Amino acid sequence: MSALLEIAGLGAGYGEAPVLFDVGLEVRAGEIVTLVGSNGAGKTTLLRAISRTVDSTGTLRFDGRPLGGLTPEQVFDLGLVQVPEGRQLFDRMSVEDNLRMGAYRRRDAAGVREAFDRVYRLFPVLRERRAQLAGSMSGGEQQMCAIARALMAAPRLLLVDEMSLGLAPVVVDQLLEVLAEIRRQGITVLLVEQDVFAAFSVADRGYVMETGRIVREGAVADLRSDPEVRKAYLGVH
Amino acid sequence: MRRLALAAAVALLASVPWMGNETLVEFGINALLLATLAQAWNVIGGFTGYASFGNSVFYGLGTYGTAIAMAQLHLPFAAGLGLGAAMAAACALVLGVPILRLRGPYFAIATLGLSAAMAAIFSNLEIAGKNIGLILPLFRGERLFYELSLALLVATTATVAWVASSRFGAGLVAIRENEEAAQVMGVDTTRYKVAALAIAAVFSAVAGGIHAYWITFIDPASAFDSTLNVKMVIMAVFGGPGTVLGPVVGAFTLSAVSELLASRLSTVAAGFYGLVVVLAVVFMPRGLLDLGRGLRRDGWRYFAQNVRRYRL
């Protein structure tokens, strides 16, 4: 199976400060892949490089097409859509308006109506609260809204950044189930997480990042039994 | 119904020079131009959320473009307006990219510096008459200036109405509400912000050009006057920023208040004007239009709610 997202020898940074070194990562169509690592490992920078808001060197291809030289909007139009860290909702706008902003670049009215139906089926609570201001909902509901908003853009690859941040474990479990359902609907997911337990429970494969380098990769089952990973990230021996 | 009422209001305004006296027409021209400036500011300040204090620069470029074209190059008035608008648009495009990277107070301060810088530049330009200024050919056509100002305000308001209902405008509002989120959802934020600034620049410049030809004399201090910028911000915010008619209502109301106070009370007028603004900010921070809706909904409790909600 060919890779949907293909990254090799990638370097990136801010001005004089390099953050990523020789990063290699692959996401195949239909997979849930997770990228784990502690604070400051460079996970978010990698997402920025993928969405072209930070310049990078090396190979960066989506569906065989090089992303270098594209603007963030062009990358978005290819179907690489982010659920950003901290959710970044339009707090003073209604849930429905937030979702509509997800479909901002779409011009197929019928497709947008269908997308509304689909995300409301996925998140019935959002349908109930569609007139409510997004900022007034609970953290979990806000995260649902952020995921739903990204889905409105008809993504081919969903880039989810720190989904579990600040949420109760039971809410995180619900959201992980949703990710699995999204994958069943044919959308590939790259999940960037600090919560390794949560990430491994839903992903097929994983990458471990430390100080800007990929230090481990493989099937989640293998990573779970890797003594180094167990010690550093799962807190078990 | 609403359209009909608007058309009637415009027709009524258009008939003023044929019925009122000279003082009223003069007041009208000033009020219409100020309303245009408040409305133009509304595009960048109200919809996009970037509180620009550099719009008086665009106004000043409009006055100088018109004055240079007419007094130095002996071109017709229309060419002057065109030159002024082009200079302002070019300025917005060139300066917009670097200064629109700044947010909040940083953006406001950076734009505040522009008026002073521009005044200094123009007082050293030979073609702009250095710090003495320029005298435009005399043309006594108060009615024409009035109708031109009204037409400009209608055009500016029509543009704002388009912004409010368009995809472009939705992008601007998204930038105002959360710029990171707008970018993540595929809004080309830099291009949108620069476009909003350029729209504001063009209308402000034409207002400056009309004012220059009407007054027939300009100098750097009056062309690049940052208190004019403060006025347009106050008027737009007083009426209701980010709405289609708010800035116009705000400009007319405050122009009338300031005129009445000036004629009755002269020197204390400025103080009362300030008091009106302070009271407005405390009791109706979302503008006159919101006041109308709020009073119908909540009655007098509306004021108490505002004071509580904004912790004043």
Q: CB burial class (10 A; 0-12, 13-18, 19+) of residue A135?
A: middle
User: Under an 8 Å CB criterion, which residues of B touch A?
Assistant: 167, 170-171, 174, 177-178, 180-188
* Positions in chain B whose pLDDT score sits under 70: 264-267, 269, 310-312
Across the interface, do A89 and B186 touch by the CB < 8 Å criterion? no
CA-to-CA distance for A192 and A189, rounded, in angstroms? 10
Residue A111 has pLDDT above 70, yes or no: yes
Q: What is the pLDDT of residue B8?
A: 94
Probe site for chain A from B165, B175, B185 (most A CB atoms < 10 A)? B185
Cβ atoms of B239 and B247 within 8 Å: the answer is yes
Residue A2 has pLDDT above 80, yes or no: no
Q: What is the pLDDT of residue B266?
A: 66
Among chain A residues, the shortest Cα distance to B191 is held by A73
Q: Taking CB atoms and an 8 Å cutoff, what residues of chain B touch A73? A: 186-188
State the helix-helix crossing angle for A109-122 and A95-102, rounded to 10 degrees.
Answer: 130
Cβ atoms of B99 and B107 within 8 Å: the answer is yes
Please write the tens of the pLDDT for every residue from B84-116: 999 999 999 999 999 999 988 899 889 988 988
Across the interface, do B184 and A88 touch by the CB < 8 Å criterion? yes
Confidence tier at A1 by pLDDT (50, 70, 90): low
Q: Is A136 on the interface with B (CB under 8 A)?
A: no
Q: What is the pLDDT of residue A201?
A: 94
Residue A228 has pLDDT above 90, yes or no: no
Cβ atoms of A37 and A191 within 8 Å: the answer is no
CA distance A82 to chain B (A): 6
Q: Taking CB atoms and an 8 Å cutoff, what residues of chain B touch A71? A: 188
Q: What is the pLDDT of residue B265?
A: 66
Q: CATH for A3-79+155-234, among 3.40.50.11540, 3.40.630.10, 3.40.50.300, 3.40.50.2300?
A: 3.40.50.300
CA distance A76 to chain B (A): 6
- Using CB atoms, pick whichever of B177, B178, B186 lies closest to residue A104: B186
Across the interface, do A93 and B177 touch by the CB < 8 Å criterion? yes
Percent of all residues in chain A with a pLDDT value above 90, rounded to a whole number: 88
CA-to-CA distance for B181 and B114, rounded, in angstroms? 29
Cβ atoms of A36 and A196 within 8 Å: the answer is yes
CA distance B260 to chain A (A): 38
- Using CB atoms, pick whichever of B177, B180, B186 lies closest to residue A105: B186
Q: How much helix, strand and coil, in percent to the nearest 5, is found in chain A?
A: 40, 30, 30
- Using CB atoms, pick whichever of B167, B181, B188 lies closest to residue A90: B181
Buried b / exposed e along B71-83 (16+ C-beta atoms within 10 A): beeeeebeebbbb
Q: What is the pLDDT of residue A237?
A: 59
Residue A8 has pLDDT above 80, yes or no: yes
Probe site for chain A from B101, B165, B176, B184 (most A CB atoms < 10 A)? B184
Tokens in use for A88? Answer: 């970044």
Cross-strand partners of A65: A62
The total number of residues shown for chain B amounts to 312
CA distance B190 to chain A (A): 11
Cβ atoms of A37 and A209 within 8 Å: the answer is yes
Q: Taking CB atoms and an 8 Å cutoff, what residues of chain A touch B171? A: 104
Strand A80-83 with A157-161, pairing: parallel
Mean residue pLDDT across chain A: 94
CA distance B185 to chain A (A): 6
Please write the tens of the pLDDT for every residue from A143-200: 999 999 999 999 999 999 999 999 999 999 999 999 999 999 999 999 999 999 999 9
- Residue A53's H or E segment, with its range, is none
Q: Taking CB atoms and an 8 Å cutoff, what residues of chain A touch B185? A: 76, 101-102, 104-105, 149, 153
Higher pLDDT pick, A96 / B299: A96
Among chain B residues, the shortest Cα distance to A86 is held by B181
Q: Residue A81: phi, psi to the nearest 5? A: -120, 140
Across the interface, do B178 and A89 touch by the CB < 8 Å criterion? yes
DSSP letter (8 states) at residue B137: P
- Name which of B54, B50, B57 is nearest B103 in CA terms: B50
Cβ atoms of A80 and A158 within 8 Å: the answer is no
DSSP letter (8 states) at residue B136: P
Question: Within 13 Å, how many C-alpha atoms sit on residue A22's CB side?
Answer: 1
CA distance B191 to chain A (A): 11
Q: Taking CB atoms and an 8 Å cutoff, what residues of chain A touch B187? A: 73, 104
CA distance B165 to chain A (A): 14
Break chain A into its structural domains and give their ranges.
3-79+155-234, 90-153
